[in-house]
């Protein structure tokens, strides 16, 4: 049966997307706090199930039982300023805006609980290089209270670094330089009393069932065996940080560390101390994923999955509710197509994930339960999280296979406040390079619900959004994960007329139709070959001399040779795919299956350098910090081969060059095997 992507169908979907419907969905999903494991997010699951069924979608709810972490609302976390052993001021960490505010108090999920007292040490952003600097300066953190600025690296890395350095606790605060940037609308920036909330682990999924689904009756680790932080962690506000940092009067920090303080530690004779009290509790809670499906008319055993997590730390006005609103509106418009007797060529699965804020738990458990089926049948995963975090430009992160399809989809959608397409505006704001006319599609990391799909199942994935101006030099929009992340904030400071929401939904919808309806999957191998080439160039620029000194030139040259062979095989495979007889279903199937398996070819069973859930040799985050700094902001994606990068970082302290040689061999073999696969 012949069925292909139809531009007329795509135009019908684009025209049906309504800003009024989007606004209503955004308002509804950001009206009240809805943290995973709480009653409100369960009620949302029931509402979504009913609505999806009314749109003609076969809808089910899948529950998991996972370890979640909450603060004690009757015994709030506190920070004490002390002189000697006497408390001089108590800072109670609560940012509730009114007595009726039902948000949980500010906390760091999965932090160790207890009370510790010690001297304060400022650790800048808490990056690996920051702690290395302190070590070189002879600053001892053992038993101390570390305090770090939010931003640049993931909070879990800050926590891990502080714990490895021997700190007893870590305080996290938003520095005005990043959260109240000069020239920004005051209403858009973070108020002085705003406090971040977040998961501070260094992995994702349910902590007690890593690698398998958290179903009832499943074996679980003891909490003492789980990969959880071993120190106290607590976020504080700008106003709180001014008080805490006031105890510092010692060593002057380097200028690039300067923010709210210019001192690193306390001078001898300064008897002021900081006491941190964390009263978090952990318990097994039920979370509910809502799953809807549309059977494919031609290839029902091939799936395109679209998902968004609906739970939020507070109101979730931007993240995740902008994504939730876009997902709901996309599904409503798809429902209208179904009523006109349209059916996708391939099956479509829609998902409203639960537990996303706690480390993508809902999506991870679902993938782990369906890992074999996803590995064999999933064509792609499309993700929405904070779908409209700014109004500067459209922006996408994707597996290399998916880069061209989202670029092509963006050409069909008009820029919300311009005369050209989203593609044109995107290419102008985020070009691939100074001499190119195409927009840059960045690589994915592990920071949202695509993680398990891409890194464990090898499913090509995409995450898209409208983003903020990088000129502000901020890691996230300023009210990220605070009580100020509300519907009011979105409407007044980001997208007043919901036109950017409409554009995101339209680009997502067009991408979905291309993937679900195109006879030949619209994947491009050229992006994969270019990524490997870029990784090699980056490795050569950074490590060439080290390889020469250690006698590893031959091993690295082998990687370069097999990469060149992969590029040739990829180009030939793509050329042959273009010659496929579309009337031959077996021939079409063979070409499509080859394309959709490319990411799976780079999965390694044991994971990349000590991260067993991060199995993708090319697209996993490294074991060390981030891999790339752009505009001063850490990007959680690869600059070069993550295993090689991690091994090169660790060899500085371990001297184990055999680990570097091993990584070169693993990379070489993986690329060579992929090349042979493409040639068949």
Q: Are residues 312 and 208 in the same domain?
A: no
DSSP collapsed to 3 states, 434-455: CCCCCECCECCCCCCCCHHHHH
Residue 639: its pLDDT value, please?
65
Which of 311, 320, 289 lies closest to 34 in space, CA to CA? Answer: 311
Q: Give domain status of residue 285, yes or no.
A: no
pLDDT at position 245, please? 98
In a domain, 86, yes or no: yes
Question: Which pLDDT belongs to residue 635?
Answer: 43
Q: How many CA atoms are closer than 13 Å to the CA of 587, on its beta-carbon side?
A: 10
Q: What is the pLDDT of residue 193?
A: 94
Domain assignment present for 166? yes
412 closest CA partner among 326, 278, 525, 503:
503
Q: What is the pTM of this model?
A: 0.95
Domain boundary among 496, 517, 538: 517
- What strands lie across the sheet with 281-294, from one edge to the other? 58-70, 281-294, 346-353, 299-309, 378-384, 461-467, 393-398
Judgement on whether residues 296 and 434 belong to the same structural domain of the protein: yes
Q: Is residue 2 part of a domain?
A: no
Cα separation values, 165 from 128, 153, 407, Å: 10, 17, 44
**Nearest residue to 319 (alpha-carbon basis) of 442, 465, 421:** 465
- Where residue 617 sits, what CATH number does that domain have? 1.20.930.40
Whole-angstrom distance, CA of residue 84 vs CA of residue 290: 54
Token code pair at residue 89: 């001021």
| pLDDT score, position 153 | 87
Q: Which pLDDT score is estimated for 623?
A: 57
Q: Are residues 89 and 56 in the same domain?
A: no
367 and 389 fall within a common domain: yes
How remote is the C-alpha of 234 from its chain's centroid?
Answer: 22
DSSP character at residue 297: S
Considering the domain architecture, whether residues 298 and 268 belong to the same structural domain is answered as no
Ranges of residues in the chain whose predicted pLDDT is under 70 = 1, 97-101, 623-639
Residues 421 and 301 in one domain: yes
Q: Verify that 121 and 260 share a domain, yes or no.
A: yes
Q: Which residues pair with 630 in a beta bridge?
A: 633
Write down the residue that tokens 């350095």 correspond to: 165
The reported pLDDT for the residue numbered 632 is: 38
DSSP structure string for 319-351: TTHHHHHHHHHHHHHHHHHHHTT---SEEEEEE
Phi, psi torsion values for 276, nearest 5 degrees:
-120, 130
Q: How far is CA 207 from the centre of its chain?
A: 18
Q: Classify residue 284: in a domain, yes or no.
A: no
Q: What is the CATH number of the domain that holds 338?
A: 3.40.630.10
Which of 520, 531, 516 has its CA nearest to residue 574? 520
407 part of a folded domain: yes
Count CB atoms within 10 A of the CB of residue 680: 8
Q: d(Cα 623, Cα 251) in Å, to the nearest integer? A: 31
Do residues 223 and 244 both lie within one domain? yes
CA distance 173 to 276: 14
pLDDT in tens, 4-33: 999 999 999 999 999 999 999 999 999 999
Q: Do residues 451 and 504 share a domain?
A: yes
Cα distances (angstroms) measured from residue 445 to each of 228, 339, 474: 21, 38, 18
Structural domain that includes position 164: 76-278
Number of domains in the chain: 3
Assigned token pair, 175:
């520095």
pLDDT in tens, 471-487: 888 888 999 999 999 99
Q: Is residue 548 located within the same domain as residue 592? A: yes
The reply to whether 168 and 127 lie within a common domain is yes
């Amino acid at each position: 049966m012949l069925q292909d992507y139809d531009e007329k169908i795509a135009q019908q979907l684009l025209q049906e997307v309504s800003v009024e419907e989007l606004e209503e969905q955004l308002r509804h999903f950001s009206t009240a706090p809805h943290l995973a494991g709480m009653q409100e997010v369960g009620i949302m699951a029931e509402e979504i199930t009913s609505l999806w069924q009314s749109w003609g979608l076969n809808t089910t709810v899948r529950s998991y039982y996972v370890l979640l972490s909450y603060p004690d609302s009757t015994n709030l976390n506190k920070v004490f300023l002390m002189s000697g052993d006497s408390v001089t001021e108590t800072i109670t960490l609560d940012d509730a805006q009114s007595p009726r505010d039902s948000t949980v108090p500010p906390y760091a999920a999965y932090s160790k609980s207890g009370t510790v007292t010690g001297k304060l040490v400022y650790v800048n952003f808490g990056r690996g290089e920051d702690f290395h600097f302190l070590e070189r300066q002879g600053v001892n953190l053992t038993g101390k209270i570390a305090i770090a600025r939010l931003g640049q690296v993931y909070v879990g890395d800050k926590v891990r670094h502080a714990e490895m350095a021997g700190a007893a606790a870590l305080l996290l605060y938003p520095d005005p330089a990043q959260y109240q940037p000069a020239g920004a609308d005051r209403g858009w920036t973070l108020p002085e009393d705003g406090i971040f909330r977040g998961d501070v682990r260094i992995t994702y999924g349910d902590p007690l069932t890593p690698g398998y689904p958290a179903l009832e009756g499943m074996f679980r680790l003891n909490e003492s065996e789980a990969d959880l932080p071993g120190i106290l962690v607590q976020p504080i506000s700008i106003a709180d940080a001014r008080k805490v940092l006031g105890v510092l009067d010692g060593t002057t920090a380097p200028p690039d560390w300067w923010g709210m303080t210019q001192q690193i530690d306390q001078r001898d004779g300064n008897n002021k101390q900081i006491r941190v009290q964390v009263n978090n509790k952990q318990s097994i809670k039920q979370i509910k994923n809502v799953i809807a499906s549309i059977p494919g008319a031609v290839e029902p055993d091939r799936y395109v999955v679209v998902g968004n997590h609906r739970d939020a730390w507070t109101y979730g006005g931007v993240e995740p509710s902008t994504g939730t609103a876009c997902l709901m509106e996309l599904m409503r418009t798809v429902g209208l197509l179904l009523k006109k007797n349209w059916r996708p060529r391939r099956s479509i699965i829609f998902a409203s994930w639960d537990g996303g804020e706690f480390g993508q738990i809902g999506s991870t458990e679902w993938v782990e339960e369906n890992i074999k089926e996803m590995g064999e049948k999933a064509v792609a995963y499309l993700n929405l999280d904070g779908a409209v975090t700014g109004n500067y430009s459209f922006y996408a992160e994707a597996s290399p296979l998916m880069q061209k399809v989202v670029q092509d989809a963006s050409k069909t959608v008009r820029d919300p406040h311009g005369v050209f397409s989203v593609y044109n505006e995107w290419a102008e704001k985020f070009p691939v390079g100074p001499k190119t006319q195409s927009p840059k599609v960045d690589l994915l990391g592990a920071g949202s619900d695509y993680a398990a799909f891409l890194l464990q199942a090898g499913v090509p994935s995409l995450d898209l959004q409208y983003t903020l101006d990088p000129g502000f030099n901020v890691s996230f929009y300023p009210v990220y994960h605070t009580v100020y992340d509300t519907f009011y904030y979105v409407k007044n400071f980001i997208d007043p007329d919901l036109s950017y929401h409409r554009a995101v939904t339209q680009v997502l919808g067009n991408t979905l139709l291309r993937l679900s309806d195109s006879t030949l999957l619209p994947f491009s191998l050229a992006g994969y070959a270019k990524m490997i080439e870029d990784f090699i160039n980056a490795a050569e620029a950074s490590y060439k001399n080290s390889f020469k000194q250690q006698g590893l030139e031959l091993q690295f040259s082998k990687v370069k040779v097999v990469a060149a062979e992969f590029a040739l095989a990829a180009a030939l495979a793509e050329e042959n795919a273009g010659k496929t007889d579309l009337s031959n279903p077996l021939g079409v199937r063979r070409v499509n299956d080859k394309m959709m398996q490319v990411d799976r070819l780079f999965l390694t069973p044991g994971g990349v350098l000590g991260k067993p859930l991060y199995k993708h040799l090319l697209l996993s985050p490294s074991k060390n910090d981030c891999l790339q700094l752009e505009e001063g902001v850490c990007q959680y994606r690869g600059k070069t081969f993550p295993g090689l990068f991690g091994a090169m970082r660790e060899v500085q302290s371990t001297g184990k060059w055999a680990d570097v040689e091993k990584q070169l061999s693993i990379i070489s073999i993986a690329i060579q095997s992929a090349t042979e696969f493409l040639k068949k």
